[in-house]
Amino acid sequence: MTATQGDKEFDAYLTELKTLALYCKFGELEDKMIVLRIVLGINEDTFRERLLREPELSLEKSKFLRATEQSKKHLQVIRTETEKEGASLEAIQQNRPPKKEESKF
């Protein structure tokens, strides 16, 4: 479900990359190198393409992945709850006695 490499959430992945970058002494290139690693580490091509379309790609612009990840989680919760409610409604409808026909007299 995550956009980043493996099952890591975006924030965990970003923190890991920033920690590793501290030891690399990238200097002024640090943010660009982190963004490059984010682009290469993304599992979903649609997100990679979106990042690559950015004319001035920055670390800040890559953080849309966090919002995307959160949206997916929220949608999954909604789907799960909807499925539960649908199953409950179906059970209620199956256990309901048949409607009596009203007499016309």
Structure tokens at 35: 């963004």
- Residue 65 has a pLDDT of 87
User: Would you tell me the crossing angle of helices 10-22 and 30-41 to the nearest 10 degrees?
Assistant: 140
Residue 32, C-beta contacts closer than 8 angstroms, at least 6 positions apart: none
Contact 4, 10 (CB under 8 A): yes
- Residue 7 has a pLDDT of 72
Contact 61, 51 (CB under 8 A): yes
pLDDT range class, residue 29, cuts 50, 70, 90:
very high
Token pair 């966090």 in the structure block, residue:
66
Residue 86: what residue type?
G
| Range with the poorest average pLDDT among 9-18, 29-38, 66-75 | 66-75
- Residue 89 has a pLDDT of 56
- Residue 30 has a pLDDT of 93
pLDDT range class, residue 33, cuts 50, 70, 90:
very high
Residue 40: what residue type?
L
- Residue 2 has a pLDDT of 45
Residue percentage of the chain with pLDDT more than 90: 23
C-alpha distances (whole Å) from 61 to each of 12, 26, 40, 67, 68 are 17, 20, 15, 11, 12
